[in-house]
Structure 1
Amino acid sequence: MAVSRRKFLAGAAGMVAGQSLMMMPAPAHARIALGDIQLDVVSDGSLALPGGFIFDPMPQAELLPILENLGQSAEVLTPPCNVTLMRQGGRVVLFDVGSGPDFAPTAGDLLASLEALDVAPDDVTDVVFTHAHPDHLWGVLDDFDDPLFSQARYMIGQAEWDYWTNPNTVDQIGDARASFAVGAKRRLDMIAQQITFFTDGAEILPGVAARACFGHTPGHMAFEVRQGSEAVMILGDSIGNDHIAFARPQWHSGSDQDPETAAQTRLSLMDQLSHEQTRVIGYHLTGNGVGYVDKTSTGYAFVKEG
């Protein structure tokens, strides 16, 4: 009997997930209920980055005591990758799709994490991208370079799409990020027929509104999920870590493509989130990324749930 590529991949994913589950506990996840909306935070693994990737532009004499006080190494960063899964009625929605197998050896665990929740790639009805960096986008294709979530429609901010699909971006982004541009364009081109675009403030799905958070990338979006008076903000990388981004949000970060705009975005967003006490899900915030933003005398702090 002939086996289709899709069935082969589904079976392989199930085998990998099964082996992973026998070797270790099911991937940790947090669950949030908002009326008829269920949000699960699932793991795509983690990254291992040199500290300078974020810290190099910052005033070192001020930076190091803050990091020491927060228990954060200045040399190595190991941020988690927290993918948000939303289910409502017949919709199964992913906000970002992780790294896939080609970006980092410590990441690419999304399929096993979804399997632990009995969610298969073909169950996903919608994929929404915060932005097109590798650890958020590169998991969109399978091992045969076909769209992994074959039944899904895809959504991305118009400005983000325009930037990464522009053939001039690879020549303008700088050598350190040239591979990001090549990888993003190739993957976005593969889903071009299934993708739709939105702008700031659009209700992209029932109860889900786009929030422009430019700076980390030119068209980065966050998403407010709301039911009545309750809301959760899916941050993506608009607040990129749980230490210095909170303690000194005004400082420029080496991870941001437009550091000045990103700093303004962080300050505005944290002011709103702390004032309204909105629960957040951060892609690279500690643990499952779920918590609140608390205003302090010198900046802000991430208050982790659980």
Structure 2
Amino acid sequence: MSFTKREFLYRSMAAPLSLALPRFAQAQITLGPATLTTVSDGSLVLPGSFIFEPMPEADLDTILRDFNLSKDRLTPECNLALFRDGTRNVLFDVGSGPDFMPSAGTLVNSLDRLGMTPEDITHVVFTHAHPDHIWGLLDAFDDPLFYNATYMMGRGEWDYWWNPETVNTIGDARAAFAVGAKRRMQAIEDAVVLFEDGQEILPGILALSTPGHTPGHMAFEIRHGATAALVLGDAIGNHHVAFQRPNWESGSDQDMALAAKTRGMLFDRIMADDLAVVGFHLPNGGIGRVDRFKDGFKFIEA
């Protein structure tokens, strides 16, 4: 059996990782004849202040104790949604790649455990262009990793990161985000498909504008008959404060007030339509349901 240079690279990337990296949970639900699975890209290591800084300290301490969380350090999972219907293999976001954090960038290995390679992905759909969602776009040759895929992004998100002024206005802490996003977007500039809020981007997959975390952030409702799931991206970014106090502003969001408003809208929609949810940073694979809890909500793992 012979391998191309690209195939050899993918196999070389996957094999050692399977022994060296922790095995994060994988979750799956069925939507008619299709499956919605999560594949792990590892985890992040974040200072607690990245999220918690604008929150009321006393109330926050109570929630953190309930969840046995540290105020100083968080290690959220990174769970990418993978929709397979027998014809299309649709991956939502592409993870961090090797250049963001050493604890992340395990997507190729996770696909390998499913018996898949990057060439099997037919569509890549971006929720937004933060590093842990788009920096995995390129391979070691600076070519698009998912080279058979159609790439899709909301027009507002594309325009924001493509704008040359973004790197100057996003703030010093996120300037590298803008540089990294633009470099990767340039690799797919001639091939990307842009879409709008409310558009059915693929059969059964509806785009939903969820701004705040980034200006053009998108979530996606995947529906088959009466059964549906919502791919959240980072619009609901954790299973603790984002659920119990969705109206609190979070330091992880670029427009904190708008993101809080978006969370409220999403929880209303989830509860009204009884939607399953897929959250990029939700625990144990990231798929589950939402229930009411006191004055907020709680995440029920699948």
Amino acid at match of 2:59: E
Alpha-carbon RMSD across the aligned residues, in angstroms, is 1.6
The Cα of 1:191 is off from its aligned counterpart by 0.5
TM-score, normalised to structure 2's length? 0.96
Give the corresponding residue for 2:225: 228
Provide the aligned length of Structure 1 versus Structure 2: 301
Give the corresponding residue for 1:291: 288
The Cα of 1:24 is off from its aligned counterpart by 6.7
Aligned to 2:117, which of 120, 140, 144? 120
The Cα of 1:236 is off from its aligned counterpart by 0.3
Is the Cα–Cα contact under 8 Å of residues 212 and 253 in structure 2 kept in the other structure? yes
Give the corresponding residue for 2:73: 76
Give the corresponding residue for 2:246: 249
1:280 has 2:277 as partner: yes
Farther off after superposition, 228-237 or 89-98: 89-98
Mapping 1:132-151, distance limit 5 Å: 132-151=129-148
Aligned to 1:92, which of 83, 89, 93? 89
Whole-angstrom CA distance in 1 between matches of 2:265 and 2:24:
33
Amino acid at match of 2:252: S
1:239 has 2:236 as partner: yes
Whole-angstrom CA distance in 1 between matches of 2:162 and 2:92:
20
Give the corresponding residue for 1:260: 257
Amino acid at match of 1:241: N
Is the Cα–Cα contact under 8 Å of residues 100 and 138 in structure 1 kept in the other structure? yes
Is the Cα–Cα contact under 8 Å of residues 24 and 284 in structure 2 kept in the other structure? no
Change (3 A) 1:22 1:76: closer
Please list every run of 5 or more consecutive structure 2 residues that lacks an aligned counterpart in the other structure. Answer: none
Amino acid at match of 2:201: I
Whole-angstrom CA distance in 1 between matches of 2:296 and 2:23:
36
Mapping 1:1-306, distance limit 5 Å: 7-22=4-19, 28-305=25-302
SS of residue paired to 1:108: coil
SS of residue paired to 2:99: coil
TM-score, normalised to structure 1's length? 0.95
Whole-angstrom CA distance in 2 between matches of 1:261 and 1:26:
35
The Cα of 1:276 is off from its aligned counterpart by 2.6
SS of residue paired to 1:193: coil
How high is the sequence identity, in percent, across the aligned residues?
54
Amino acid at match of 1:137: I
Whole-angstrom CA distance in 2 between matches of 1:110 and 1:22:
14
Please list every run of 5 or more consecutive structure 1 residues that lacks an aligned counterpart in the other structure. Answer: none
CA displacement, residues 161-213 of structure 1 (integer Å, 9 cap, x when unaligned): 00000000000000000000000011111101110111111000111000111
Farther off after superposition, 191-200 or 293-302: 293-302
SS of residue paired to 1:294: strand
Whole-angstrom CA distance in 2 between matches of 1:181 and 1:40:
29
Change (3 A) 1:207 1:14: same
Amino acid at match of 2:12: M
Is the Cα–Cα contact under 8 Å of residues 100 and 140 in structure 1 kept in the other structure? yes
CA displacement, residues 126-148 of structure 1 (integer Å, 9 cap, x when unaligned): 10000000000000000111111
Whole-angstrom CA distance in 2 between matches of 1:22 and 1:131:
31
Is the Cα–Cα contact under 8 Å of residues 78 and 95 in structure 2 kept in the other structure? yes
CA displacement, residues 247-282 of structure 1 (integer Å, 9 cap, x when unaligned): 111011000000000000001111221233211010
The Cα of 1:25 is off from its aligned counterpart by 8.0
Amino acid at match of 1:197: L
Whole-angstrom CA distance in 1 between matches of 2:127 and 2:21:
30
Is the Cα–Cα contact under 8 Å of residues 292 and 298 in structure 2 kept in the other structure? yes
Whole-angstrom CA distance in 2 between matches of 1:81 and 1:134:
12
